[in-house]
Amino acid sequence: MNETEQLLEQVADRVRNSARGQGKPLPAPLATGDLAQAEGILGVALPPLLTALYTRVGDGGFGPEQGVLPLRQAVRTYEGQRASGWRWPEGVLPIADFGCAMYACVDCRSETAQVLLFDPNPGEPELAWSIDAPSLAGWLRGWLDGTAWFCEESGLGEESDLELAPWTEFRSRI
């Protein structure tokens, strides 16, 4: 079993255990037709790991904060943001809502499926984007082991002065 398969199994185990503990059913995985439709709207293929999460684990509802967005909701949010005044970059799909208009997003054009944090609260589009994790795999591992900034047990949440690196590709992608 390779690293990606191990990571998918760890995520699936956590999702199953969490769903059992909360007494709610698991979200159903997506069919490939649903993925193709979303990719057609986005104009870019979803990264393989994100595709596997949606088709093998479930269509959102698990993960950090309020959970990974269902794919249709993620695509609707992407379309809404692209139409807004925030100059949303092409191929950057919001995957988790952190509240206060903040989103974790996957750069679908990045080889590693880099995870970006969109935080519009500074007020300027150029300052709204930072690198949350170099890869989707790393972001998921941080959630699983509780070391990511958004995990309560990490001690890096809202009370600390979180300093994420700015995303320098912003201007070239709008």
CB 50 within 8 A of CB 39: no
| pLDDT, tens digit (0-9, with 9 covering 90-100), for 104-152 | 999 999 999 999 999 998 777 778 999 999 999 999 999 999 989 888 7
**What residue spans of the chain are helical by DSSP H?**
3-22, 32-42, 48-52, 71-83, 136-145, 170-173
58: buried, middle or exposed (CB in 10 Å: 19+, 13-18, 0-12)?
buried
Residue 95 and residue 68 in contact, taking contact as beta carbons nearer than 8 Å: yes
For the entire predicted model, the pTM comes to 0.89
Q: Please, what CATH class does the domain formed by 3-151+164-173 belong to?
A: alpha beta
| Encoded tokens for 163 | 């300093």
Condensed to tens digits (0 to 9), the pLDDT of residues 31-49 reads: 988 999 999 999 999 999 9
CB half-sphere exposure, 5, CA atoms < 13 A: 2
CA terminus-to-terminus distance, the chain: 39
